[in-house]
Amino acid sequence: MTDVKLASLMTLDTVEDGVYQAQSWDLGFRALFGGQVLGQALAAAYKTVGPERVAHSFHSYFLLPGDAKKPVIYDVEIVRDGRSFCTRRIKAIQDGKAIFFMMASFQLPEAGMTHQYATMPDVLSPESITSDIEFYEANYDKLARPMREALSYHKPIDIRTIDAVNSFAARKRDPQRNIWLRARESMPTENIALNQAALAYASDYHFLSTSLQPHGVAITDKNLRIATIDHAMWFHRPVAFNDWLLYVTQSPFSGNARGIVKGQIFNQKGELVASTMQEGLMRKIDS
């Protein structure tokens, strides 16, 4: 498959009121890609709110590894519908078991006090950086077979990691990473749900692995077990995922076989459009 569309992944079939089914993509990982359930769960929640409501945050927990070869069922519970805010609880299900939970909050847009105390770093432009997918294609023979077979599913998002060679190498470095990303396909700006769901999907790329950098451990290490535990996201401004966004990630701490990473997503004007936080398992096992 060469023509893979992210919008199709975020298109859910209605099983009954509040229950939806979505396809899965096998990205060549050990389990279902976490970004998929983040984006699809948000898309499912959007199906139960009015068109004037906009998601401003979600908080989620990954309970069990998902199977990338099977579809996912999303069960949406209406927790509260207020005049300004409404809340949804989303459960992702495979084989009759809950693999993931999300709480998502929506708001009617309104004017209010505004400030930004976050500065976009001065980095190389996306046009001057090679796309990650080109790096993988150039090193195709070095990739594990599952990754080679799934490479087309990594193409819908154009990801360009600054200093990619060092970022993914097994060498010790500061726990921070800068990534340019955007959707390759058309994402109409008026489709707020799709843009936010797509960005939620992308927010899980290369995120937790930032915590590995101070330890000189590569994500491809066969003795490494890494998995997301929880993921939170806040949307501050409208998202236009057709445009380049800079994903700035830092890991302030790791310990107890866990790492935590925070992210800030800027548009090219330097405006903070979203923030993320994630904690995950990082465990080395004996070979």
Coil, helix or strand for 123? coil
Tell me the C-alpha distance between 263 and 220, whole Å.
Answer: 22
Tell me the C-alpha distance between 182 and 156, whole Å.
Answer: 9
DSSP conformational letter for 195:
H
Tell me the C-alpha distance between 176 and 43, whole Å.
Answer: 30
* pLDDT one digit per residue (tens) for the chain, 287 residues: 447 899 999 999 999 999 999 999 998 887 899 999 999 999 999 999 999 999 999 999 999 999 999 999 999 999 999 999 999 999 999 999 999 999 999 999 999 999 999 999 999 999 999 998 887 777 777 666 766 777 878 889 999 999 876 656 678 989 999 999 999 999 999 999 999 999 999 999 999 999 999 998 887 788 889 999 999 999 999 999 999 999 999 999 999 999 999 999 999 999 999 999 999 999 988 76
Please calculate the CA angle 117-122-126 and round it to the nearest 5 degrees: 120
pTM above 0.85, yes or no: yes
Which residues are known to be catalytic? 204, 228, 278
Tell me the C-alpha distance between 148 and 155, whole Å.
Answer: 12
Which residues, in sequence order, are CB contacts of 165 under 8 Å at separation 6+?
none
Tell me the C-alpha distance between 179 and 264, whole Å.
Answer: 11
Joined tokens for residue 44: 């499912």
DSSP conformational letter for 213:
G
Joined tokens for residue 101: 């939970």
Tell me the C-alpha distance between 6 and 62, whole Å.
Answer: 22
Joined tokens for residue 72: 């996912």
Domain covering 6-109+130-284 assigned CATH 2.40.160.210 in the classification: yes
* Ranges of each domain in the chain: 6-109+130-284
